[in-house]
Structure 1
Amino acid sequence: MKSISMSGSVRKSVGGKATKELKANGLVPCVMYGNADPIHFAVDARQFKKLIYTPNVYMVNMNIDGTEYNVFLKAAQFHPVSDEIIHADFFQPEDGQRFELKIPVRVTGNAIGVLNGGRLGLMYRKLRLKGDVNSFPDAVEIDITKLRIGMGVRVSELSVPGCEFLDSANNYVVSVKTARGALDEEEEDEDEEGAEGEAATAEGEAPAAEAPAAAE
């Protein structure tokens, strides 16, 4: 999968006062969990733009005071007003360790149902997969070309080598539904057909009404 590089420095103190000083200097307090004891460090807030403000998922090559770690973002906290990142947790997996990761969904193709007036619905923007570092894809790709109105793709129909899907197998990931406009057109067609049928019946009844006069 894709990776990006970030760098930080070990924190000398983890108290509340030290944390405020970090934030005042544009730094984000971070913790890395993994093989050994947690590592408390700080990263320039600007480096997070390429990691969190994107639908993509990356492995992070984190350089902490000259030592390289391959980590993944586990959790992030944001300020309730400014929405700026204020804390981040990273996870360093062991070699061959299987763990959970949310992978973005990417649809390809043009669904037949959409071309016929249907509406495409995406129920999941990301799916939970379990695998190791080498098995995770950049995205779960779904070809929707053959989907007609009323059809969809369930989790159970997807496959990624080396990975297990953790979301419910029966859930739809993407589907094509009848759009309101298409439904209105169908109803109008039915109304027109009904009106034509009534008109034809009325025309057929007209001669019958004149029958008594002919009997005279």
Structure 2
Amino acid sequence: MSHETYELKAEARERVGKGSSRELRRNGLIPAVIYGDKQSPVSIVLNTNEVTKRIHAGGFMTTIATIDVDGKKIKVLPKDYQLDPVRDFTMHVDFLRVSGNTQVTVEIPVHFVNEGKSPGLKSGGVLNIVRHEVEVHCPADAIPEAITVDLNGLKVGDSVHISAVTLPKNVTPVIADRDFTIATIVAPAGGVSETEAEAEGTPEA
């Protein structure tokens, strides 16, 4: 999991509509909806500052939360949220109900390790990241914090495909019909310098 689980206090929301939403926001609250798990959607209101703080802390979309709706606790995973484009405060959030066997689709950040052990990068090559995140299917209670890509031994011209990455148990890429590229190591724009080329034992790029 990206972050430890947390709890948000909420109240059931009876009036739904643009006018009531504006009134809520003026009072420091935001409308939200909890749906899924074969149950009726529940409209709620949350404290704007609490939710915005969680969004800016990172890992919001990959961390399970508990929402206390007037004393009833519901486990959820945020699925979507809207920010005001001008003032950067949260306007609305959609939450998905989750249980132990819920499968979810989430985007997991990619972390790269062993840059110092890549001959291509040491000779001046550049890591060209094709995908900063990979969308996966996984159990809601076992969302990976990150996907780790090992750059050890990679040379200029080498690529890292999803097949080269060890994914945790029960985690599968959404794109299943091709071995897609996560990153490549490319020559720098000006080519590899003569000194670096000699050190590598290769002709100048």
TM class by shorter-chain length? 0.7 to 0.9
Q: How does 1:21-100 map to 2 (within 5 A)?
A: 21-35=23-37, 36-56=39-59, 57-100=62-105
Distance 1:125 1:43 in 2: 31
2:172 counterpart of 1:164: yes
Report the counterpart of residue 185 of structure 1 in structure 2. 193
Question: The residue matched to 2:193 in structure 1 has which SS?
Answer: helix
Taking only aligned residues, the RMSD between alpha carbons, in angstroms, comes to 2.4
Tell me which stretches of 4 or more aligned residues in structure 1 moved more than 3 Å: none
Q: Judge which range, 117-126 or 132-141, deviates more.
A: 132-141
Letter of the aligned partner of 1:134 in structure 2? D
Match of 1:176 in 2: 185
Q: Distance in 1 between matches of 2:17 and 2:183?
A: 47
Greater helix share, structure number: 1
Structure 1 residue 50, shift from structure 2 partner? 4.0
Q: 1:55 to 1:178 in 2, by over 3 A?
A: farther
Answering whether residue 132 of structure 2 is matched by residue 130 of structure 1, we say no
Q: For the residues of structure 1 that align with 2:192 and 2:22, how far apart are their CA atoms?
A: 59
The CA deviation string for residues 52-83 of structure 1, in whole angstroms up to 9 with x for no partner, is 22552311122222222221111111223223
* 2:176 counterpart of 1:143: no
Unpaired runs of 5+ in structure 2? Answer: 198-205
Cα-to-partner distance string for 1:108-153 (whole Å, 9 max, x where unaligned): 2213321110111222121111121233211111112222111121
CA contact 1:155–1:167 (8 Å) conserved in 2: no
- Give the TM-score, by structure 1 length: 0.78
- Answer whether contact 1:127 1:167 (CA < 8 A) is retained: no
For 2:36, give the aligned amino acid.
G
**1:137–1:11 distance in 2 versus 1, CA, 3 Å:** same
77-86 or 19-28, larger mean C-alpha shift: 77-86
- Normalised by the size of structure 2, how large is the TM-score? 0.82
The 10-residue stretch of structure 1 (114-123 or 91-100) with the greater mean CA deviation from structure 2: 91-100
Identity %: 23
Amino acid at match of 1:23: R
Is the Cα–Cα contact under 8 Å of residues 51 and 58 in structure 1 kept in the other structure? Answer: no
- Whether the aligned pair in 2 keeps the contact of 1:4 and 1:61 (CA below 8 Å) is yes
Number of paired residues?
189
Consecutive unaligned residues of structure 1, counting only runs of 5 or more, are 190-216
Contact 2:103 2:138 in 1 (8 A): yes
Q: 1:66 to 1:112 in 2, by over 3 A?
A: farther
Distance in 2, matches of 1:115 and 1:136, equals 33
